[in-house]
């Protein structure tokens, strides 16, 4: 038994409340090392004749695996909402060990009786099922298919508010970093039917507040809609009409930094260390200064902290109570006055945990079911404990899919190992709310990444829509828009009918409908994998109760005859694909209602 590979941690993603009365346990072991694991558990206060009493023996289920680890899971309940629990492990030779809070011990004869094993002090504990601490997963989030909008480039609904020098609306144009085209809130309102027909029920808008740039991440005034986008009446109309159509609205909160045109930073420039906002920022000495370069967004010698090396985005000191109150007042205003449904938090991992905890408390006091989404590109466990974010933008997931399907840099089994590792970082309800995406305003468009191969893009979207998490489509992807890294990925939306890719639109529309039809299975169902590295085949099966959804993807270079490969046991779920042949870059999705 490989003891070094065994890992469990109480009060974490390894031991957590899934519902108010269901506790889920996980444990990690070496792959192919153990025959079985049994959870023994009981009430910590159940003592008889001087001995603690166990009352539960639950055999754990083998679930996901990586190249070196196997995960096991079990579900427990407790009549008095508290548990002692430990693990009896049996290896492939029949040897048994007990694993608890104090480590490993030999199994005693009492393990087969109803009395105590090892003594109560050697057990892990769930002291009480604290509902207030449980990571909540609002149902509406699991049911949502998102659509990300870069407002300046989606649609121009009101030409009177266009910025000076706005360019003609050309979908095949290649914008520069400082281009303007006149997109606005009225343009979004005018196209609500587009979202309804596509099946979208969540809109994520990048910043809409007053700022000098087209992207608005250099906020000048958080309490005003940028005049080139419209006004508060327009935004209220958008929220109300979207809600009436069953569409949620999520705004972008830029709280890591502020724009250098903001009154706060201008006051610092004018008054230096005597400014009432001097402590709102991370300034090393006064006066503030930097040396401009040919790149507007770069300087090497600013004497204040910034977002990246951008001198026009000074970093806010969110440890300052005045800054905390200011930022929370902003979010409170837009959440309470306009009834928005979520906040996407820009550069979220560069802001302190202390602030985000306060932020969550403030937002959930207004709307207990609000979606709080952090922009974090790597693993984010410390933000996903239930007291800060609902989820993060799942860029780690994105990268794994791109490396496999588009870049062909990994094998099917390697993709499975990566995705399983990512899933095991979080609680089940957290995985159900992760924001899954293939591209965004910060990444090249997925069709360009796939070298304009639409079949590969269809594979990736299908694969993504079959996973846990709430899927997102970047504006224009339904019409197969292309673009390199920003600003090229921020082209004006294709509204000319003759330039729209109707095939891609119909494909995504059907995929979105599949997601809505089987949302429960795809959010909460079990996951199993099938792989064939030699032929570039990856398969997955999702199951909840009597409904199964199975899919098989061919990333190889030849046709794949599913029936002929069954007897070599390369594909386990062959019965879903009897007599099927999958072409290269093709896939099959089958729904079975038993």
First to last CA, the chain: 39
Burial readout 401-419 (b: 16 or more C-beta within 10 A, e: otherwise): bbebbbeeebbbebbbbbb
Task: Indicate the SS3 state at residue 378.
Answer: coil
Catalytic (active site) residue 375: yes
| Among 404, 431, 406, 405, CA closest to 420 | 431
The upper half-sphere exposure of residue 48, i.e. CA atoms within 13 Å in the direction of its Cβ, equals: 9
Rounded CA Rg of the chain: 27
Give strand pairing partners of 36.
90
CA 330 to chain centre: 24
Instruction: Kindly give the interhelix angle for 454-465 and 502-517, rounded to the nearest 10 degrees.
Output: 10
Burial readout 1-28 (b: 16 or more C-beta within 10 A, e: otherwise): beeeebebeeeebbbbbbeeeebbbbbb
Largest Cα separation within the chain, whole Å, is 86
The secondary structure of 107-145, three-state, reads CCHHHHCCCCCCCHHHCEEECCCCHHHCCCCCHHHHCCC
Structure-block tokens of residue 424: 């095991």
Measured between alpha carbons, how far is 124 from 178 in angstroms, rounded to an integer?
57
Give strand pairing partners of 203.
147, 249
Q: What angle do CA 151, 331, 280 make, to 5 degrees?
A: 105
Report yes or no: 318 and 280 within 8 Å, Cβ to Cβ: no
The secondary structure of 321-342, three-state, reads HHHHHHHHHHHHHHHHHHCCCE
CB atoms inside a 10 Å sphere around CB 365 = 12
User: Length of the chain, please?
Assistant: 594
Catalytic (active site) residue 285: no
CB neighbour list of residue 556: distance below 8 Å, 6 or more residues apart: 535, 536, 537, 584
| Among 541, 526, 533, CA closest to 570 | 533
The DSSP letter of residue 346 is T
Q: Which of 43, 341, 346, 388 is catalytic?
A: 346
Report yes or no: 594 and 549 within 8 Å, Cβ to Cβ: no
Structure-block tokens of residue 216: 């608005």
Long-range contacts at 320-326 (CB < 8 A, ≥ 24 apart): 320/279, 320/280, 322/279, 322/280, 323/280, 324/355, 324/358
Q: Which of 13, 252, 375, 501 is catalytic?
A: 375
Question: How many angstroms separate the Cα of 72 from the Cα of each of 38, 256, 345, 504?
Answer: 10, 39, 34, 40
Which residues are known to be catalytic? Answer: 346, 375
């Amino acid at each position: 038994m490989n003891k070094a590979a065994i890992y469990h941690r109480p009060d974490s993603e390894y031991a957590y409340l899934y519902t108010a009365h269901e506790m889920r346990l996980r444990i990690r072991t070496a792959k192919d090392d153990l025959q079985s694991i049994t959870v023994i558990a009981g009430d910590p206060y159940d003592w008889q004749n001087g001995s603690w009493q166990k009352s539960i023996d639950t055999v754990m289920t083998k679930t996901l695996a990586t190249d070196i680890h196997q995960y096991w899971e079990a579900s427990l309940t407790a009549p008095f909402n508290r548990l002692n629990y430990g693990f009896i492990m049996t290896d492939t030779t029949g040897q048994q060990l007990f694993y608890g809070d104090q480590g490993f011990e030999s199994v005693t004869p009492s393990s087969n009786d109803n009395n105590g094993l090892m003594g109560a002090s050697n057990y892990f504990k769930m002291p009480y099922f604290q509902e207030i601490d449980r990571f909540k997963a609002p149902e509406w989030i699991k049911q949502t298919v998102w659509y990300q909008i870069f407002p300046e480039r989606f649609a121009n609904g009101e030409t009177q508010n266009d910025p000076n020098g706005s360019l003609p609306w050309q979908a095949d144009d290649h914008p520069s970093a400082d281009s303007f085209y006149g997109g606005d809130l009225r343009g979004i309102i005018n196209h609500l039917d587009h979202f309804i027909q596509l099946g979208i029920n969540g809109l994520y808008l990048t910043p809409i507040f007053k700022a000098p740039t087209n992207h608005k991440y250099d906020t000048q005034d958080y309490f005003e809609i940028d005049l080139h986008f419209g006004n508060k009446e327009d935004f209220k109309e958008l929220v109300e009409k979207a809600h009436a159509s069953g569409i949620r609205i999520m705004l972008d909160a830029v709280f890591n930094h502020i724009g250098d045109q903001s009154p706060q930073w201008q006051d610092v420039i004018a008054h230096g260390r005597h400014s009432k906002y001097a402590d709102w920022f991370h300034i090393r000495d006064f006066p503030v200064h930097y040396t401009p370069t040919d790149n507007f967004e770069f300087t090497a010698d600013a004497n204040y902290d910034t977002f990246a090396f951008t001198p026009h985005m000074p970093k806010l000191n969110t440890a300052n109570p005045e800054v905390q109150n200011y930022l929370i007042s902003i979010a409170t205003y837009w959440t309470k006055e306009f009834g928005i449904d979520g906040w996407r938090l820009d550069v979220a991992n560069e802001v302190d945990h202390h602030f985000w905890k306060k932020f969550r408390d403030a937002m959930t006091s207004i709307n207990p079911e609000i979606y709080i989404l952090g922009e974090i590109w790597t693993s984010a466990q410390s933000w996903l404990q239930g007291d800060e974010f609902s989820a993060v933008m799942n860029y780690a997931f994105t990268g794994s899919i791109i490396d496999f399907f588009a870049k062909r840099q990994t094998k099917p089994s390697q993709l499975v190992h990566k995705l399983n590792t990512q899933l095991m970082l979080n609680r089940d309800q957290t995985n159900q709310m992760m924001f899954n995406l293939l591209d965004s305003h910060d990444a090249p468009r997925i069709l360009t990444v796939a070298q304009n191969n639409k079949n590969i893009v269809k594979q990736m979207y299908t694969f993504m829509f079959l996973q846990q998490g709430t899927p997102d489509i970047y504006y224009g992807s339904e019409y197969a828009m292309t673009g390199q890294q920003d600003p090229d990925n921020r082209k004006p939306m294709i509204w000319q009918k003759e330039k729209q890719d109707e095939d891609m639109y119909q494909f995504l529309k059907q995929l979105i409908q599949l997601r809505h039809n089987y949302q429960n299975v795809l959010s909460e169902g079990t996951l199993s994998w099938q792989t064939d590295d030699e032929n570039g085949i990856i398969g997955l099966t999702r199951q909840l109760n009597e409904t199964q959804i199975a899919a098989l993807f061919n990333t190889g270079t030849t046709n794949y005859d599913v029936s002929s490969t069954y007897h070599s046991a390369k594909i386990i779920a062959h019965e879903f694909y009897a007599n099927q042949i999958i072409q290269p870059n093709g896939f099959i999705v089958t729904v079975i209602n038993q």
